[in-house]
């Protein structure tokens, strides 16, 4: 498939849309290309997640619901910048347990276990999406509850990419949204102001190779010039295939490629320099904290960390250059056998 005049489906039997797409297909089922035994076998390779990076001056936070088919999980972390405290909640279930509908933008995603509930509701027709959190206190973390509303009408232009990978294929959809609402962490309330605070959506529906690795980062900031940010990744790629990297400038999502990640040293909390080969992205990332996951499950293994902190540097859009100072964001590394 090459024409994308109607964004009805990512794929149909025997064919799939490839490239940078103008928006999210109404139905982004990556398995619709296949039938019968081929579909069942490829489901074993499918990795799906929907998550948000929350950007706020007083906290760094991220929430995700993910399904690896043999195991599903959800995680929520929140770092209180002033107190220097990292609070983490997580839960697991069997593969296929979470609701992650391929018709996402008028759907509901949820993950629920005893004492743990994460729910997203998407309403593109009304221009409002919602994230709800209800996490009971544990011996290691306080209760975290609240609801956030995302303003889809004021969001960035979307990043929507369908590409072939060495030994697999990827679909991702990303956008940044002004966000309003409150999160309550123990006895403290964090209020989100849509004139300042943002949530970055990250959806993946990908047939990943067994050995998978990537470096990835994102940030966004609302200022006098409008909403500016970036999403950038470095992973094994096939020549000519689009990367999941972009610049967000007011009203546009501009393609970005050839990203280099350069940590300052072997220190886990060392700053990073991240740039694109064409110089349109040139930023320094200063970590403030770190979240790590290491799991060994026989044939399956994960060595993952996410750093949260601030970006400073330059974003050069097609029509304007933006200087950033202290834009909140994250940077992460994944090495896995999936």
Section 215-221 average pLDDT: 98
Decide if 75 contacts 135 (C-beta within 8 A).
no
Q: What are the strands, taking DSSP E only, across 126-210?
A: 128-135, 144-151, 159-165, 168-185, 188-192, 198-207
Question: What is the distance between the alpha carbons of residues 21 and 3, in angstroms, rounded to a whole number?
Answer: 10
Tens digits of residue pLDDT in 16-37: 999 999 999 999 999 999 999 9
Residue 146: partners with Cβ closer than 8 Å, 6 or more residues away = 132, 133, 181, 182, 183, 184
> Is the confidence at residue 270, as pLDDT, over 50?
yes
- State residue 295's pLDDT score: 80
> Is the confidence at residue 122, as pLDDT, over 90?
yes
Looking at every residue in the chain, the average pLDDT score rounds to 94
CA terminus-to-terminus distance, the chain:
29
Tens digits of residue pLDDT in 40-57: 999 989 999 999 999 999
> Is the confidence at residue 130, as pLDDT, over 90?
yes
Question: What is the distance between the alpha carbons of residues 236 and 166, in angstroms, rounded to a whole number?
Answer: 7
Tens digits of residue pLDDT in 251-262: 999 999 999 999
> Is the confidence at residue 118, as pLDDT, over 90?
yes
Other CB atoms within 10 A of residue 45 CB: 18
> Is the confidence at residue 5, as pLDDT, over 70?
no
Tens digits of residue pLDDT in 131-162: 999 999 999 999 999 999 999 999 999 999 99
> Is the confidence at residue 2, as pLDDT, over 50?
no
> Is the confidence at residue 14, as pLDDT, over 90?
yes
What percent of the chain shows pLDDT beyond 70?
98
> Is the confidence at residue 235, as pLDDT, over 90?
yes
> Is the confidence at residue 207, as pLDDT, over 60?
yes
DSSP summary character for residue 244: S
What sign results for the dihedral spanned by CA atoms 8, 11, 17, 20? positive
Decide if 8 contacts 27 (C-beta within 8 A).
yes
Confidence band of 336 (pLDDT split at 50, 70, 90): confident
Tens digits of residue pLDDT in 167-203: 999 999 999 999 999 999 999 999 999 999 999 999 9
- State residue 299's pLDDT score: 76
Confidence band of 3 (pLDDT split at 50, 70, 90): very low
Q: Write down the pTM of the prediction.
A: 0.96
Structure tokens at 163: 């590409």
- What element of type H or E holds 15? strand 15-16
Structure tokens at 170: 């990827």
Structure tokens at 324: 């950033």
Whole-Å CA distances, 292 to 77, 79, 260: 11, 13, 22
Structure tokens at 196: 């300042």
- State residue 4's pLDDT score: 38
Task: Reduce the DSSP state of residue 333 to 3 states and report it.
Answer: strand
């Amino acid at each position: 498939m090459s024409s994308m005049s109607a964004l009805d489906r990512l794929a149909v039997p025997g064919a799939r849309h490839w490239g940078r797409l103008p928006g999210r297909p109404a139905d982004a089922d990556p398995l619709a290309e296949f039938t019968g035994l081929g579909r069942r076998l490829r489901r074993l390779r499918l990795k799906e997640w929907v998550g948000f990076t929350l950007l706020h001056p007083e906290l760094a936070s991220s929430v995700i619901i993910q399904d690896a088919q043999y195991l599903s999980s959800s995680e929520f972390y929140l770092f209180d910048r002033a107190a220097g405290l990292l609070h983490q909640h997580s839960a697991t279930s069997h593969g296929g347990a979470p609701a992650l509908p391929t018709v996402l933008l008028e759907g509901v995603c949820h993950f629920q276990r005893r004492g743990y509930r994460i729910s997203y509701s998407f309403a593109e027709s009304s221009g409002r999406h919602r994230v709800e959190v209800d996490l009971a206190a544990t011996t290691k973390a306080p209760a975290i509850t609240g609801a956030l509303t995302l303003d889809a009408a004021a969001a960035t232009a979307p990043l929507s990419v369908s590409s072939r990978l060495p030994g697999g294929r990827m679909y991702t959809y990303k956008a940044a949204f002004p966000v309003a609402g409150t999160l309550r962490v123990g006895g403290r309330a964090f209020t989100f102001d849509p004139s300042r605070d943002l949530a970055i959506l990250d959806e993946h529906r990908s047939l990943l190779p067994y050995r998978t690795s990537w470096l990835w980062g994102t940030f966004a900031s609302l200022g006098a010039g409008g909403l500016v940010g970036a999403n950038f990744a470095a992973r094994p790629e096939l020549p000519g295939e689009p990367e999941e990297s972009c610049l967000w400038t007011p009203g546009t999502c501009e393609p970005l490629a050839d990203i280099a990640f350069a940590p300052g040293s072997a220190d886990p909390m060392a700053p990073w320099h991240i740039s694109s080969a064409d110089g349109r992205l040139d930023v320094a990332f200063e970590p403030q904290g770190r979240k790590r996951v290491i799991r060994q499950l026989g044939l399956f293994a994960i060595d993952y960390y996410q750093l949260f902190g601030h970006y400073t540097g330059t974003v050069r859009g097609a029509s304007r250059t933006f200087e950033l100072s202290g834009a909140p964001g994250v940077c992460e590394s994944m090495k896995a056998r999936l």
